[in-house]
Amino acid sequence: MAWDVRHEKQYRKLREEVYAAGGRERQEAQHARGKLTARERLGLLFDGGLFEEIEMYVKSRVELGEVKKQHFSGDGVIAAYGKVNGIPVYAVSQDATISGGAGGEAHVNKICRTLELAIKNRRPIVYLCDSGGARIEEGIISLSAYSRLFYLNTQASGLIPQIAAIMGNCAGGSSYSPAMCDFIFMVRKTGQFFITGPRVIKALTGEDVTMDELGGAEVHGRYSGQAHFVCGDDKECISGIRKLLDYITCTRKKYENRRKIDYTAEGKSIEDIVPEYKKKSYDVREVVGKICDDGEFMEVLPDFAANLVTGFCRLDGRTVGIVANQPRVIGGSLDCDSADKCARFVRVCDCYDIPVLVFEDVPGFYPGSREEKKGILRHGCKMLYAFAEATVPKITVIMRKAYGGAYCAMNSRELGADMVFAWPICEIAVMGADGAVDIMFHRQIREAVDPEVFRKKEIDRYEEKYLTPYFAAAYGMVDEVIMPEETRDRLVKAFAALENKQVQVYEKKHGNIAL
């Protein structure tokens, strides 16, 4: 016996309502602002644009006082699952055409439901954020739902990758959920990421501030360090998410068409890139490009704390996290921001079993009262803690300088590096020869017949005896001194040898990192 035709009509009517979202006019307004709709964004994220929805008919259940609004199916957020690069992934996409994407109880609980499924199945989750914040009409009920979401974000942390994209407004208390994610993308012209808006700030403090100054992509990509990737538009943003997921979920790929690394490509060898003269700068990303498979490197936080470079590449098909000093910015010294950047990145790599490779050329921690007042000791401890705590394979290549406490902080042997390689030109010491001689021989220099001649003689002697990598190798702080052109081949073999590394850790509730 055939079903009553009314069932099919109801089914089709409800699905049309879901797909219509806030209506054609609001969707066109979304496009006019340079934004894709929530459903279009998911179509770009998932392979072939194919995904299955979760709780698509959910509606808000609260009407308070005289406030009555139309209750749309889906309640302003699409929850889905599908495949990205062939790997199962969960995602939620907020719909700004419905109540501005504001999160009420049903809206947030739908996100929580999706996150719970991701946790149970140990799969990544992607949040495509476009919301004005908590739904005011629902008051404390909405905030209660957000508290549940923050709790689940914490439970998921380090267990599954969480990636957020700020593609429109992400305001108020709701902004804490993406802030708790492993990686945050922002769209340059449309993304706004803030707790308190300009009007409220003006009312409370009298300060005039624009939205871009408050929470735009430039602010978070360059100054706050909260946006790991800044993108030109929605399409570029979602393409970046797919690329990042490929690195952190497909950590081992067969590299069949291995190219013979041409160290003289574009007229430059590594020796051409890295000058022997220690005070001359260079771009460490050029060195990284010579090591990576096909020269491809996905940099994380490129504009924040630019004196340290972090990012992902593949080495003979293996995903590797790169940490490298950048001599072009404050000589590659470490400061508070770069220490935070490094610690966070290393801990993310450790969470998801991604080996860490360090390229070291560091003159020390950046000196001065400004950094001391900011708490450089506390920030530096985060970096030390992250490297020491990480149990993934860790390799360091010392290129030129490795001075003082910064030598320790950049994954030294004693801090837990599995292997340390050094180039012949590198210097490993408490400080450079000039400073060391001035301190050790200050009285003799002052009393010498010719102070400059005496000082030069002692500098040469100090460099010859202490600053060669062979001195460090003699004491077991360096595994081997290698030529730059050998670096890639040695790293490929070393990471292969460390592939099954296991570490026995002390049983305890958790450590107490110097936050």
Q: Residue 500: left (phi > 0), alpha (psi -120 to 50), or beta?
A: alpha
- 457 with 433: CB under 8 angstroms? no
Rounded Cα distance, 395 and 417, in Å: 6
- 88 with 45: CB under 8 angstroms? no
At 330, list the tokens: 């404050």
Catalytically annotated residue among 43, 317, 405, 435: 405
Q: Residue 136: left (phi > 0), alpha (psi -120 to 50), or beta?
A: alpha
- 403 with 433: CB under 8 angstroms? no
Rounded Cα distance, 55 and 110, in Å: 7
Catalytic annotation present for 82:
no
At 502, list the tokens: 């296991």
Q: How many Cα atoms sit within 13 Å of 478 on the Cβ side?
A: 25
Nearest to 216 by CA among 207, 205, 226: 226
Catalytic annotation present for 375:
no
Question: Rounded to the nearest 5°, which phi and psi values hold at 206?
Answer: 80, 0
In the block, residue with structure tokens 């902004």: 175
Catalytic annotation present for 225:
no
Catalytically annotated residue among 106, 145, 217, 406: 406
| 3-class secondary structure, 145 | helix
The dihedral over CA atoms of 139, 140, 144, 146, expressed in degrees to the nearest 10, equals 40
Nearest to 397 by CA among 263, 495, 261: 495
215 residue type, one letter: G
Catalytically annotated residue among 100, 172, 216, 221: 172
Strand partners, 427: 401
What ranges in 292-403 are assigned the alpha helix state H?
A: 336-351, 369-374, 376-389
SS (H, E, C) 169-209: EEEHHHHHHHHCCCEEEEECCCCEEECCCHHHHHHHHCCCC
At 20, list the tokens: 């219509």
Catalytically annotated residue among 173, 295, 317, 435: 173
Catalytic annotation present for 405:
yes
Active site residues: 172-173, 405-406
